[in-house]
């Protein structure tokens, strides 16, 4: 069975299965190709007749994940110019429904709305219109390029949210009841959108999953990364220079530079704010450009930038095990190397004593991973919740503690995703093992639906005294 909906650019045809309509690959902005590769997003080009929205659309240009992450994280890549697109799932016959808009993660370098994990049918089944968004990545989305606006990936996200405001009623959604949510780089995007004036009025609620409100770099530091990419290509680091390069060549150069940064995270070469913000593994993220982003998002939120927005934020218990266990880093760290590695991250090695006291069975690599998880994810999440509450806003905090059956990964980064989307039956990653607990997915998914519908996920708001945190595991607490 099929269904046709009229949006601003024309008519789109979706597919109806079990009472849920799915419209896939709808352009929300014009294809950013040629001279437009580094320009702000333009309105989608109108079409005649009825456009099929039956298959997933193209994904943003990006490299595949490097091993071993290519085996652990689903990342389908589909070439094509119209990658600034959205997928929409909606219940048949609904109107005035809450809307949830998903921004996928991937270190601002990878990711899309195409993985099976992000199928929105369960949200639609439960009365929510789910929209998932592609946005520009890497140099195209977040490189500082002379002659082009910075933060193009954020500008894409804003364009998608304006598209939702203008079109979601046609799918049964209420544009006044929009929740934005995202994980990792998507969560960092959400936290940044919470803080900037350009996003005012585009959403009412926000969920930050494994993100931070501190993921911005100084524009001049970020320009050093772009300069390295341009140097490899033999062109100026300008919109004209980089725009003259074929996209596959640009992605190849970007990938090499990303690998070099991870191997030698020298702040004098890459910029101190890039190394600190990205932990030495991420070369791309939003920048303070004075146009869209004026300061570290946390500072704006602390002054009340998001006081009228309902907030939920959380992490997994052992975030960084995804990055250190499969790569062999955890096993390789020695007691002698541990203090040096902590100093490189700007941390006092004396904290090792407290971690050892709390976890006497931890190896030096386990301690490094635990400290990095707390420094990069847990503490920023607490700071975000405290800033939001101190400014008079609402904030709820969660922790995902169920552990992967894969040896050593624990409750690692990205593990909560199919539980949130209730897609354990279709998610393709081996992270979840053969028998992940559906009952946990039922509870977690229901909390996200409740928050998107009412602004409360079902537990107490965070405060700096009692510090209530909802823990999702076999036995919730």
> Would you say 144 and 219 are in contact if contact means Cβ atoms under 8 Å apart?
yes
Q: Which helix (H) or strand (E) holds 134?
A: none
The pair of structure tokens assigned to 267 is 């702040």
Cα angle 111, 112, 117; round to 5: 95
Q: Where are the beta strands (DSSP E) in 28-110?
A: 50-52, 85-91, 97-103
Whether residue 294 lies in the annotated active site: no
**Rounded distance, CA 118 to CA 241, Å?**
36
Whether residue 210 lies in the annotated active site: no
Among the options 319, 386, 399, 416, which is catalytic? Answer: 319
Report the candidate in 225, 259, 231 with the shortest Cα–Cα distance to residue 245.
231
> Would you say 225 and 184 are in contact if contact means Cβ atoms under 8 Å apart?
no
Among the options 112, 318, 373, 413, which is catalytic? Answer: 413
**Rounded distance, CA 280 to CA 277, Å?**
8
Among the options 21, 132, 184, 210, which is catalytic? Answer: 184
Q: Which helix (H) or strand (E) holds 173?
A: strand 173-183
Whether residue 373 lies in the annotated active site: no
SS3 108: coil
Q: Which residues contact 132 (CB under 8 A, 6 or more apart)?
A: 86, 87, 101, 102, 104, 113, 118, 120
Report the candidate in 317, 313, 71 with the shortest Cα–Cα distance to residue 181.
313
Positions marked active-site: 184, 319, 413
């Amino acid at each position: 069975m099929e269904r046709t909906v009229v949006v601003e650019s024309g008519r789109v045809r979706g597919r109806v299965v079990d009472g849920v309509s799915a419209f896939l690959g709808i352009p929300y902005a014009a294809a950013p190709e040629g001279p437009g590769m580094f320009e702000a997003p333009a309105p989608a080009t109108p079409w005649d007749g009825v456009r099929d929205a039956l298959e997933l659309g193209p994904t943003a240009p990006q490299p595949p994940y490097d091993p071993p992450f290519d085996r652990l994280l689903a990342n389908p890549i589909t070439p094509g110019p119209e990658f600034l697109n959205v997928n929409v799932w909606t219940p048949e016959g609904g109107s005035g429904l809450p809307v949830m808009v998903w921004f996928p993660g991937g270190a601002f370098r990878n990711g899309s709305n195409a993985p099976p994990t992000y199928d929105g049918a369960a949200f639609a089944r439960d009365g929510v219109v789910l929209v998932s968004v592609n946005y520009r990545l890497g140099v195209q989305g977040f490189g500082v390029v002379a002659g082009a606006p910075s933060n193009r990936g954020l500008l894409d996200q804003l364009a998608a949210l304006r598209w939702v405001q203008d079109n979601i009623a046609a799918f049964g959604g209420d544009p006044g009841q929009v929740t934005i949510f995202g994980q990792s780089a998507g969560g960092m995007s959400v936290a940044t959108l919470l803080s900037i004036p350009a996003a005012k009025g585009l959403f009412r609620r926000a969920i930050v999953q494994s993100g931070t409100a501190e993921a911005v770099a100084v524009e001049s530091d970020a320009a050093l990364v772009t300069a390295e990419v341009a140097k490899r290509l033999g062109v100026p680091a300008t919109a004209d220079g980089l725009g003259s390069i074929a996209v596959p060549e640009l992605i190849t150069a970007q990938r090499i530079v990303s690998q070099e940064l991870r191997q030698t995270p020298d702040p004098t070469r890459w910029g101190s704010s890039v190394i600190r913000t990205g932990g030495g593994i991420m070369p791309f993220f939003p920048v303070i450009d004075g146009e869209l982003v004026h300061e570290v998002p946390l500072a704006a939120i602390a002054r009340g930038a998001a006081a009228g927005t309902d907030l939920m934020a959380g992490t997994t218990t052992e975030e960084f095990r995804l990055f250190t266990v499969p790569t062999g880093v955890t096993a390789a760290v020695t007691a002698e190397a541990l203090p040096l590695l902590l100093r490189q991250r700007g941390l006092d090695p004396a904290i090792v004593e407290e971690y050892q006291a709390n976890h006497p069975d931890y190896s030096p690599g386990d301690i490094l991973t635990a400290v990095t998880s707390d420094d990069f994810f847990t503490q920023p999440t607490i700071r975000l919740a405290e800033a939001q509450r101190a400014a008079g806003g609402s904030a709820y905090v969660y922790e995902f503690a169920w552990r992967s059956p894969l040896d050593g990964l624990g409750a690692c980064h990205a593990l909560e995703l199919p539980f949130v989307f209730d897609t354990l039956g279709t998610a393709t990653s081996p992270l979840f093992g053969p028998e992940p607990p559906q009952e946990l997915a039922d509870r977690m998914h229901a909390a996200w639906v409740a928050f998107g519908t009412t602004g409360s996920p079902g537990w107490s708001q965070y405060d700096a005294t009692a510090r209530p945190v909802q823990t999702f595991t076999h036995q919730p607490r």
